[in-house]
Amino acid sequence: NAGVTQTPKFQVLKTGQSMTLQCAQDMNHEYMSWYRQDPGMGLRLIHYSVGAGITDQGEVPNGYNVSRSTTEDFPLRLLSAAPSQTSVYFCASKRTNPPGANVLTFGAGSRLTVL
């Protein structure tokens, strides 16, 4: 199993450009989420989804959109990139059915720089 796959690993954008960070998991996990991590800080939750067709906001959702059309994929869209969105982004997933431990599996991360 590949686990959680994120693409791209690195991306440089100019202010105002849009882009999509891709996240795919092959573990049939119902729950998926996106976090961002800034230097010296912990991870902050952006958006999450408990199943296909269901998404919700986390701690820092502004400037980001998500959709969950399939169980496997959970893309994160930046509509108009800003320098404040320069960060490392992590996608994570976990099983929720049957209910079990909060054991998240993380991707390797996507490092985004907005100039």
Partner 1 sequence: DAKTTQPTSMDCAEGRAANLPCNHSTISGNEYVYWYRQIHSQGPQYIIHGLKNNETNEMASLIITEDRKSSTLILPHATLRDTAVYYCIVRVDDGANNLFFGTGTRLTVIP
Q: Given the rule CB under 8 A, which residues bind partner 1?
A: 4, 30-31, 33, 35, 40-45, 48, 50, 58-59, 88, 90, 92, 94-97, 99-109
- The nearer residue to partner 1, 2 or 41, going by C-beta atoms, is 41
Length of the chain: 115
In sequence order, which residues have a C-beta less than 8 Å from that of residue 14 and are 6 or more positions away?
81, 114, 115
Q: DSSP letter for 61, please.
A: -
Quote the least distance from Cβ 20 to partner 1, whole Å.
Answer: 19
- The nearer residue to partner 1, 17 or 58, going by C-beta atoms, is 58
- The nearer residue to partner 1, 37 or 67, going by C-beta atoms, is 37
> How far apart (Å, rounded) are the C-alpha atoms in residues 8 and 28?
22
